[in-house]
Amino acid sequence: MVTTNTLQTTAEVVPSQQELDPNRVTVDMVRNDPEVRTLIDCADRYLAAIGYTDHGFGHVSRVAIRAQKILRELGISEREVELAGIAGFLHDIGNMIHRQGHAHHSALLSVPILKRMGMPLEEIAIVVGAIANHHEDCGEPVSNVSAALILADKSDVLRSRVRNPKMISFDIHDRVNYAAERSEIIVEKERHLITLKLKIDTSLCQVIDYFEIFMTRMTMSRRGANYLNCDFRLIINDVQLA
């Protein structure tokens, strides 16, 4: 099991690349691929049918951008930054098969897509390892890309993800998401600190509700931050809570 790592140690796992291969598979190629877009739509439709929050293009785009930001601001290699973005776009496509086990399904569905695009197997292994380990039921940070994907995915708590605001009085997940007016990840490289800063409308949801639902996500986020040799801090409405 991976616990706390130093940046030096994790950098040894994936060598830093000074120059990017011009023939590499890029985030834009994955984002604009018609098959990828269809799979994202299908997965989101499945989740809509069973009443889950939005997991469509908006969610995966935010996750991709945030995962890249985390690694870039920590000074991790630009290729790992790009792989984190690619993992962000693909991480939830397995929901088109079933919610349960979706992380593993997403990883397996991604292999032939990335192979078709010409990604080397060593990079595919990093991307699908991150995807398969992003969910809190059995995921563990296994690489820089994986740790960033976990932090980015678990921090995407947002009002716009609620499909039916009428449900917020019945469903605590919807209520917590609907109450979240702003969600921001702050990376402080020099202080080895990653902060999730949330603004929550407490007339809709008490902070305790947030903890009830998101405790496992916070624990996983801390493990992700620790993998990147950082502490994890949670601030809700300007109060530090963890």
Which residues contribute to the site for Fe ion (CB under 5 A)? 92, 153
C-beta closer to Fe ion: residue 77 or 221: 221
Side-chain-facing half-sphere of 52: CA atoms under 13 Å = 17
Instruction: Supply the minimum distance, in Å, between the C-beta of residue 90 and Fe ion.
Output: 10
- The Cα 81–Cα 87 span in angstroms is 10
Instruction: Supply the minimum distance, in Å, between the C-beta of residue 211 and Fe ion.
Output: 20
C-beta closer to Fe ion: residue 92 or 174: 92
C-beta closer to Fe ion: residue 44 or 153: 153
C-beta closer to Fe ion: residue 77 or 150: 150
Instruction: Supply the minimum distance, in Å, between the C-beta of residue 60 and Fe ion.
Output: 7
Going by C-alpha positions, the residue among 217, 77, 237 that lies closest to residue 152 is: 217
Other CB atoms within a 10 A radius of the CB of residue 165 amount to 12
For 78, residues 6+ apart whose C-beta sits below 8 A from its C-beta are 17, 20, 72
DSSP 3-state of 139: coil
Instruction: Supply the minimum distance, in Å, between the C-beta of residue 192 and Fe ion.
Output: 26
Q: What phi and psi, each to the nearest 5 degrees, are found at residue 21?
A: -65, 125
Q: What phi and psi, each to the nearest 5 degrees, are found at residue 185?
A: -105, 125
C-beta closer to Fe ion: residue 67 or 236: 67
Instruction: Supply the minimum distance, in Å, between the C-beta of residue 191 and Fe ion.
Output: 27
